[in-house]
Chains A and B, each alone.
Chain A
């Protein structure tokens, strides 16, 4: 077993807390991403696992072994750094062979393994070059080859694609995924890019302010975000505030701040009068031109809000509609294809099903 286990790990920088009481399990062979805005503690967590930082409290286990007190050299980890950090005075081959050489591998073995790695990252021709003679994408691949050449049981990656442009980043995501699957190496990946996290990860751990907020598959995070922060960070979402009118059944009634009444799937019994935050994903909204009475009734129980179409943003395979409901409430709807019948400045109606609504009680941060 070569998973990773963090037990109640705390790391402070003077007064500032880097991470607090962090408990996390990474399964063997899993691709887990630490996701969050800058300063959330994701890089601190990675550096704790790598051994560059040591926690004040808690334990870190890699492959069942307690490595909390071990220096990085003895942890048997591979790491891909932000900006690659290739050794500028060593050739590509020497860079890739570095870890094997430190492990005392025989020369032939190093040579064979380096060639293998270059094949793996599809750069068989560049072994003799220096890092400065490579393009950004090539440096990235070499950095990856270097990190996995000595077959570490755990691979850490710290925003490895951050310095690449969009097209290259997408291509590299596919490459990374392929290589990680091919090697079956347990991988912990750090990024602030939600889309990148979704396209690569088996599971994602969302951090904020040094705390772990939620761990789950991309689907779980998107469908059932634990709080507003996760909901907001993972994909686009509309937030609405209101108070509970009736919270007994599986579907609660909520009165919005502007007086509209909507129906919401309730996670449990709700106290009437409690303030709540409800949210709905843009793609769950349906939009009709004008205010045609019969259609919404065709789907019974649909919530609906009337407003004015403020702006249409056409994006090819989908269209974003900005619908102004009140002075300080605009809904974003994402609809498929082109909606020629909708015109800016005209009244529209938005509707969505109660079961597509998320609800959190205010003051209930976790």
Chain B
């Protein structure tokens, strides 16, 4: 934020147009910056601080700063299990979303305009509808007497209805339904940047489809695919609704644990401690992923010289 030039401002008449143009834009940032600092940094600071007080029960908290909450949480086997479970499920959802999303994005990117706009609109519609309603629909579908089990039992593939809800499978399906449309749209924007003629060039030089994929499409899409996967992972790590509804309380992911600590147990400091740890873990994983991606790129760039 450079200050304006008082000498110029004091002159009568119009100041230099160039300086006027740029400094005008500068000040536009201030309202949002102020709001974000107020809504972001200040609450975060308070919140981190809160995790440093001991809970005294019934919502009351101690008045001495201590690290004992972190000690207790980090030795709590339920928390540690929950942490591993959340990371595992989020990773699984990200991988499945990539594996399903990439062919879909490729199909849409290379299809003709009429189909394309319908398919994209459906993705947008799906991403527009609140996750509560999606979960409700999935509960109907996956329930013991729902259509999936009816078909499976009716076709004689299973003897008794499968348990598809209130377990990890249900949560994964729910998270997938929640994150997938956004993932597909992100991947679509990635594949769209790759001209079909690049594939044609590889084909005409004799590369079979499999090699076109591994030598051209995959390397060019990889950064975007990983960014999309990271987005899905982040969303899943913080996803509360689908885990709560489709897990039926039997899949204790971290967001559910945090919500219980705060709403049911009114234990703010412990809830805050868990939240801080979740936040730190997610941010750390993101930083790590970005760093690895950068390193990977540099590595592959470095290898070029020797080939």
Chain A: residues with CB nearer than 8 A to chain B? 50-52, 71-79, 81-83, 85, 87-89, 91, 93-94, 98-99, 102-103, 128, 130, 146-147, 150
The digit string for B216-252, where 1 denotes a CB below 8 A from any CB of A, is 1001100000000000000000000000000000000
How many pairs, one residue from A and one from B, have CB atoms within 8 Å of each other in the complex? Answer: 66
- Closest Cβ of chain A to B307, distance in Å, is 7
With both beta carbons as reference points, the residue of chain B lying nearest to A103 in the complex is identified as: B206
Chain B: residues with CB nearer than 8 A to chain A? 195, 197-198, 200-208, 211, 215-216, 219-220, 304-305, 307
- Closest Cβ of chain A to B203, distance in Å, is 4
Docked complex Cα distance between A103 and B202 (Å)? 12
Per DSSP, chain B at the interface is helix
- Closest Cβ of chain A to B258, distance in Å, is 42
Docked complex Cα distance between A130 and B201 (Å)? 17
29 contacts between A and B (CB under 8 A): A52-B204, A72-B200, A72-B203, A73-B203, A73-B204, A73-B206, A73-B207, A76-B206, A77-B204, A79-B200, A79-B201, A81-B197, A81-B201, A82-B197, A85-B195, A85-B197, A85-B200, A85-B201, A87-B201, A88-B220, A89-B219, A89-B220, A91-B304, A94-B304, A98-B202, A99-B205, A99-B206, A102-B206, A102-B211
- Please, which residues of chain B bring their CB within 8 A of the CB of A74? 206
- Please, which residues of chain A bring their CB within 8 A of the CB of B206? 73-74, 76, 99, 102-103, 150
- Please, which residues of chain B bring their CB within 8 A of the CB of A83? 197
Q: Which of A85, A147, A150 has the most CB of B within 10 A?
A: A85
Asked if residues B307 and A150 are in contact (CB atoms below 8 Å), the reply is no
With both beta carbons as reference points, the residue of chain A lying nearest to B306 in the complex is identified as: A128
- Please, which residues of chain A bring their CB within 8 A of the CB of B203? 51-52, 71-73
Asked if residues A51 and B204 are in contact (CB atoms below 8 Å), the reply is yes
- Please, which residues of chain A bring their CB within 8 A of the CB of B215? 98
Asked if residues A150 and B205 are in contact (CB atoms below 8 Å), the reply is yes
Asked if residues A91 and B197 are in contact (CB atoms below 8 Å), the reply is no
- Please, which residues of chain A bring their CB within 8 A of the CB of B201? 79, 81, 85, 87
- Closest Cβ of chain A to B280, distance in Å, is 34
Docked complex Cα distance between A52 and B199 (Å)? 10
- Please, which residues of chain B bring their CB within 8 A of the CB of A75? 204
Please tell me which one of the listed residues A82, A88, A102 contacts residue B205 in the complex, with CB atoms under 8 A apart: A102
- Please, which residues of chain B bring their CB within 8 A of the CB of A102? 202, 205-207, 211
Docked complex Cα distance between A128 and B307 (Å)? 9
- Please, which residues of chain B bring their CB within 8 A of the CB of A81? 197, 200-201
- Closest Cβ of chain B to A26, distance in Å, is 17
Given contacts A93-B307, A128-B304, A128-B305, are A85 and B204 in contact (CB under 8 A)?
A: no
Closest 7 pairs between A and B when the two form their complex, measured CB to CB: A99-B205, A102-B206, A72-B203, A85-B197, A79-B204, A72-B204, A85-B201
Docked complex Cα distance between A99 and B216 (Å)? 13
- Please, which residues of chain A bring their CB within 8 A of the CB of B216? 87
Asked if residues A78 and B197 are in contact (CB atoms below 8 Å), the reply is no
- Please, which residues of chain B bring their CB within 8 A of the CB of A91? 304, 307
- Please, which residues of chain B bring their CB within 8 A of the CB of A89? 219-220
- Please, which residues of chain A bring their CB within 8 A of the CB of B200? 50, 52, 72, 79, 81, 85
With both beta carbons as reference points, the residue of chain B lying nearest to A94 in the complex is identified as: B307
- Closest Cβ of chain B to A189, distance in Å, is 16
With both beta carbons as reference points, the residue of chain A lying nearest to B219 in the complex is identified as: A89
Asked if residues B205 and A85 are in contact (CB atoms below 8 Å), the reply is no
- Please, which residues of chain B bring their CB within 8 A of the CB of A87? 198, 201-202, 216
Docked complex Cα distance between A77 and B216 (Å)? 19
Docked complex Cα distance between A78 and B202 (Å)? 10
Docked complex Cα distance between A74 and B205 (Å)? 9
- Please, which residues of chain A bring their CB within 8 A of the CB of B198? 85, 87
With both beta carbons as reference points, the residue of chain A lying nearest to B203 in the complex is identified as: A72
With both beta carbons as reference points, the residue of chain A lying nearest to B220 in the complex is identified as: A89
Please tell me which one of the listed residues B207, B208, B220, B305 contacts residue A98 in the complex, with CB atoms under 8 A apart: B207
